[in-house]
Amino acid sequence: MRDSGGAEELIERLVIQVGRLEITPSELIGRNSSSGLFKTMFLAFREDGARDWNTNLAISISHSGKQDKLQFHHIFPTAYMKKQSKTLELPSTDDIANLAFIGGKTNREISDKAPADYLKKILEGDGKSQLENQAIPTSLDLLKPEAYGDFLSLRRQLIADRLNRFLGN
């Protein structure tokens, strides 16, 4: 049984009223943190056991304090990508496929570092499953600025697959 605060009941009601709920990767294009799908993404990742990449605390909205309070993180940090956009035409960093959930301290430590650098360190530790629990591709080739569009496309697919599993599809 899911520990998702009534989400299962809500999903059942929606299926009865609307029919089968199925998310496609294309439905994630242009979505951001204000989307209902972003909130559903949090629930799905929490169900998968998603944790902060440094503290190993389970992601939760009930954490308090500046260090552990849940934040959403730009996998390709906005400040980092602004530097890259001088030479590349890049999609928005606020795209739902560029967002993950981590604690405030971890988010501040990452700051505007290149994803190929900071995620490589996480992968060298025991963080591969932590990234996979948030549907983050772990191929270092996809973590370069010139591969950002491909990263978003693959992550949208992974997110859609995870959301559909969460919704019982």
Q: pLDDT tens for residues 37-51?
A: 999 999 999 999 999
Q: In this structure, what is the dihedral angle of CA atoms 63, 7, 34, 20, given to the nearest 10 degrees?
A: 150
Supply the pTM of this predicted model.
Answer: 0.85
Domains of the chain, residue spans: 7-166
And the tokens for 21?
Answer: 């709920």
Tell me the mean pLDDT in the region 98-120. Answer: 94
Average pLDDT over residues 82-86: 83
Side chain identity, residue 43:
L
> What's the pLDDT score for residue 87?
73
Angle formed by the axes of helices 148-166 and 36-47, to 10°?
70
Q: For residue 80, is pLDDT > 90?
A: yes
Note the pLDDT of residue 153.
97
Query: Is the pLDDT at 121 greater than 80, yes or no?
Result: yes
